[in-house]
Amino acid sequence: MVALGLRSGDGAPHQFLLDGDNDGVADTANCPTMDPCSTTFSTTTITYTFTINLAAGTYTYYCTVHPTSMLGAFTVSPVSVGAATIPVNKLALVAPYVVFAGLVVALIGTIVYFAHFSRRPKTICSFSPNASSIYQFRDHSNP
């Protein structure tokens, strides 16, 4: 939906027309079906509201009374700002990070695992005191 405030600054009557079919003609033959157009207006501001049913692209707007001197470009954007809902696949957005986080966790786990076991002394046997101060001999390689 587009709302235009239209007022004549020079006192002459004007009429806004958007050449929606891009035929380059600023007459009202295709108004309002293909070429949205306002009523004629003068020094009192009017609000002209119309719905854009046009493909994205650049169009020309005219004053139908002065089409050779009062004209300009009118751009239709693919998505209207602030009015459109863009569907977002949240799972697709998050999935790569979940996979990456999983790989990082697995890598850290692997590093911790090897660090732990590589730093462990490869003790074949050891002596350790028990409560009665009797030393026990234990073979770690053969529990």
Residues of the shown chain interacting with Cu ion in the complex, contacts defined by CB under 5 A: 14, 63, 65-66, 70
| Residue 10 or 143 having the CB closest to Cu ion | 10
Q: Which residue is nearest to Cu ion (CB)?
A: 63
| Residue 14 or 37 having the CB closest to Cu ion | 14
- Cα→Cα distances 139→14, 92, 123, Å: 104, 54, 8
The answer to whether 36 and 18 have CB atoms below 8 angstroms apart is yes
| Residue 17 or 63 having the CB closest to Cu ion | 63
The H-or-E segment that residue 135 falls in is strand 135-139
Give Cβ neighbours of residue 71 (< 8 Å, ≥ 6 apart): 26, 60, 61, 62, 63
**Could you tell me the smallest distance in angstroms from the CB atom of residue 30 to Cu ion?**
18
